[in-house]
Amino acid sequence: MTDSKAFSLGSNVSGLGQKGLDHNQVIAIDGPAASGKSTAAQRVAVSLNFVHVNSGLFFRTITWWALKNGLSEATDAFLEALGDLDINLERFQSDLNVVVDNVAPGEALHGPTVTEQVSAIAQLPAVRSMVLERLHYASSQFDIVCDGRDIGTTVFRQANLKVYLIADVLERARRRLAEGKHDMSEESLKREQARLNARDRADTSRVHSPLRKAKDAIEIDTTRMNLDEVVEVILSLARERKLG
Ligand code: C5P
């Protein structure tokens, strides 16, 4: 892993970055759960030689850390511990991995427990501002493709390109199950659709930075598209804007 590089984005970082807070080029990709944002963002980043920043990973990591430490998001103890939380980002090729307390939680971040709890944690203003600060820091260091829920509306309002990916919930459930090599029975698909709908409801109805399409975002319905097609559309939009 010769090109793996760790740098601290912990709460003690204040001056922020060699280049200050200027933003480099930013492509923002938002959309509901399992709309394919992350995979598309990763591929776009590789093509343009940008860094992929999956903002959901921050919220998942904080959720994982809270669960591991028995902290409930509704308590002062949670907020106090959050203030001391040291999160490092580790660059590996075109991605940034999140490391907390020197541990990279890896696959646990996508397990059912974290996925069920993450929207409750993500609605907290203290959590959101912590993540926002780190995303701004990442963009002060690299040209980035950042995916999430509020990237075009809140985190990078001045992004050079904003894309909003959508897909029918049944198709999203299919993709999610295929990803985890789960069975595709009608029952499983129904359960997965219910989970995705619940998370989208929580993410669109929260007070702070809810999931919304930015006014200047370009919506792409990927229901009948494959990944290559989605990536190509985003890359052609990036080329139109002379990005990369
Ligand atoms: O993208 P992913 O499904 O990994 O995101 C997990 C959760 O993190 C979302 O359901 C949402 O609650 C939260 N999130 C957010 N804002 C973002 C990215 C993710 O609130 N920009």
Spell out which residues line ligand 1, taking CB within 6 angstroms.
33, 55-56, 59-60, 118-119, 122, 148-151, 199, 203
| pLDDT for position 127 | 95
72: domain CATH number is 3.40.50.300
| pLDDT for position 20 | 45
Residue 4 reports pLDDT greater than 50: no
| pLDDT for position 91 | 87
Residue 15 identity (one-letter amino acid): G
Q: How many CB atoms lie within 10 A of CB 22?
A: 8
Which of 220, 244, 209, 207 lies closest to 162, judged by CA? 220
Which residues, in sequence order, are CB contacts of 29 under 8 Å at separation 6+? 37, 40, 41, 44, 145, 146, 147, 148, 151, 162, 163, 164, 165, 234
- Among 14-28, 103-117, 194-208, the minimum mean pLDDT is found in 14-28
Domain span at residue 42 reads 4-240
| pLDDT for position 182 | 81
Which residues, in sequence order, are CB contacts of 3 under 8 Å at separation 6+? 91, 92, 93
Asked if 58 contacts 127 with a C-beta cutoff of 8 angstroms, the reply is: no
Q: How many domains does the chain have?
A: 1
92 or 37: which carries more pLDDT confidence?
37
Whole-number CA gyration radius for the chain:
17
Per-residue pLDDT tens digits for 18-64: 344 456 999 999 999 999 999 999 999 999 999 999 999 999 999 99
Which residues, in sequence order, are CB contacts of 183 under 8 Å at separation 6+? 177
CA distances from 72 to 65, 117, 223 (A): 11, 10, 37
Pocket test for ligand 1, best of 95, 114, 118 (most atoms within 8 A of CB): 118
